[in-house]
Amino acid sequence: MKILRIIAQGLPLFKEDLDICFYTQQRVSEDDKNYLYNLIDNYYLHSACAFIGINASGKTSVLKVINLALNIIKNEPINHVEAKTILGGSEKATIHTYFYDKRKYICCLETVITAKKAKTGEYVYSILSERLWEKPIASVKSKKYLTDFDGIEPVDSRNSNEAYLSDDVSFIIAHNKKVNDAVDVFSLLSYTNVNVLPFTENIPLEVIAFLDPTIEKLCFEQAEGKTFIHLKFRVRALLHFRW
């Protein structure tokens, strides 16, 4: 499963709808294709995305929206997700998550979430309604219409027959099981306000190349109770001219 786009509405911290697109919308040059993920044919996903802004401009808030949407697709209970705080007790927040599944279909999951204040003072979230749209990617004529579902009826919706589901778990779980698809989520949100390089077994090369294309490898090694950081730079040939 590949996430293509996330649109969030009704979030208190955002005056307008938040629209995050992960696929290229312009023509991709031959040189850039090596740095992108080829979804199919001429459709490409960005291998890394960056959000830039001054302090308190909303960068972490955007990451929380992405994290929440991904966990909904992953069938995690909303009330167990740390990023649920981005909902801010909203009476009605809507998240549209567009993704590409194993069947080579483009899907759109609409999740409408509401909040209720518990006796403890904390907000408890539940899903008011959900709908799912899908279409084969072969039917898409251009990138402009990749996530356009105008005129297409939903193939499924949340109903009372799904009593087996907790009211804060998406009904997309049925689709994921049917297609045998899933999305992996690894969050580093807890490090957003900590200026320390955390120990990790693997840092994606796409992330390293985006931050500094001269770095070939960055890895960690633990030995004798100590942590060693190995940093390798790409070798570049130098040309010397004599006039």
More confident residue, 209 or 101: 101
Amino acid at 169: V
Q: How many C-beta atoms surround the C-beta of residue 114 within 10 A?
A: 19
Closest CA to 96 of 164, 24, 172: 172
Structure tokens at 153: 């009826």
Helices (H), the chain: 59-73, 172-179, 205-211
Q: Cα 51 vs. chain centroid, distance in angstroms?
A: 13
Instruction: Please name the fold of domain 2-189.
Output: Rossmann fold (3.40.50)
Q: Encode pLDDT of 106-157 as tens digits.
A: 999 999 999 999 888 899 999 999 999 999 999 998 888 999 999 999 999 9
Query: Any idea where the domains of the chain sit in the sequence?
Result: 2-189, 197-233
Q: What per-residue confidence (pLDDT) applies to 128?
A: 94
The structure's pTM equals 0.78
Write out 102-167 in H/E/C secondary structure: CCCEEEEEEEEEEEEECCCCCEEEEEEEEEEEEEEHHHCCCHHHCCCCCCCCCCEECCCCCCCCCC
Strands 36-40 vs 123-136: parallel, antiparallel or unpaired: unpaired
